[in-house]
Amino acid sequence: MHTAFRLLEKGFEVVGLDNINDYYDVNLKLARLNLLGFDISKLDSQKYLESDKGVRFLKADLADKQAMDKLFQQEGFDYVINLAAQAGVRYSLKHPEAYVDSNITGFLNILEACRYNQVKHLAYASTSSVYGLNVSVPFREEEATEHPVSFYAATKKANEMMAHSYSHLYDLPTTGLRFFTVYGPWGRPDMALFKFTKNILAGLPIDVYNNGDMQRDFTYVGDIVEGVTRVVTNIPSGQESKGKDFESNRSSAPYTIFNIGNGKPVNLMDYVYELERVLDKKAEINFMPMQDGDVQKTFASTENLLNAVDYLPEVGIEEGIRAFVTWYLEYYHQS
């Protein structure tokens, strides 16, 4: 939703796709569509909608190859941004098949549709989770990412490799974007900030893993979107890539990878304390052991993104958490 608004501001014609699944609150997804100007009451009878803000929307699944092929043929996209995936590290421990459907089959359908419809550039969301057991910080794109610790991370690593093969075989320019712990207004309810805010306001305890001894490179959604929309028109060239000195860009194919993170890891407990301050309410904390598939620290190197599109994320947790809480209280009518 945030990306669609930013693309409209930049003068793009925007078409969105979502299957509106129930991985989290469907009403939140519908509210986002409503904000974009869609009459969501028509979704029961129509799969394709046009909004009063100049955005078109198709309710469909990435794994539906026929629907994807038809959409690409009808629209003739110049650029494609894939932010759709089955997300969540912990969910992947119990529902791996959902990740194959969306993140593998769905992504293959996107690659095939881009290949056959002369798309100029495919930019897609990867994740900091591909760094897995890496302990060298900050995480740099040239480092090996061969040891994912969750199935979710494995599917996103597979996306990067699938994209490279299509870039090499079919000269399809692709850019993978490794997101680092995105948060902000309209965010996912399964993310820590959303769950913490909900429970603190309700007087319920919050679960803090690894006894709070964790650091995350929290990245505000507005910063992510600015990076994504700058990158999409920065089409990689295999010829240019040969001169780069980091491994992800050494391929002669028109393929590249960028981290999009704040570049300033925050202690998890400092994140909690800032949320308590903004809410003016103390949290009851239930300290928990490290969860399977989790890592102790994430830290993005942002040098390559800066060099490519002259941009660095800049919103700190004080501003970002306040923006989220303001949205949350308004959306859920709490004071």
Q: Report the top-level CATH class of 2-186+219-264+298-315.
A: alpha beta
My answer on whether omega of the bond before 138 falls inside 30° of 0, hence cis, is yes
pLDDT at 93: 78
Rounded Cα–Cα distance for residues 237 and 174 (Å): 10
pLDDT at 335: 55
pLDDT at 239: 58
pLDDT at 250: 63
Q: What angle do CA 197, 202, 205 make, to 5 degrees?
A: 75
pLDDT at 243: 42
Q: Catalytic residue numbers?
A: 152
Q: Is the model's pTM score more than 0.75?
A: yes
Rounded Cα–Cα distance for residues 267 and 159 (Å): 30
pLDDT at 87: 82
DSSP 126-162: EEGGGGTT--SSSB-TTS-----SSHHHHHHHHHHHH
pLDDT at 92: 81
- The dihedral through the CA atoms of 93, 96, 99, 104 has a sign that is positive
Q: Mean pLDDT, consecutive 10-residue segments, the chain of 335 residues?
A: 97 96 94 95 90 93 96 97 86 85 95 98 96 89 91 94 97 98 95 96 95 94 97 85 48 94 95 98 95 86 96 95 98 81
pLDDT at 270: 97
Residue with tokens 């490179």: 217
Rounded Cα–Cα distance for residues 115 and 106 (Å): 14
Q: Three-state SS for 81?
A: strand
Contact 261, 298 (CB under 8 A): yes
- Two tokens, residue 116: 């056959």
Contact 149, 91 (CB under 8 A): no
The CA radius of gyration of the chain, in Å to the nearest whole number, is: 20
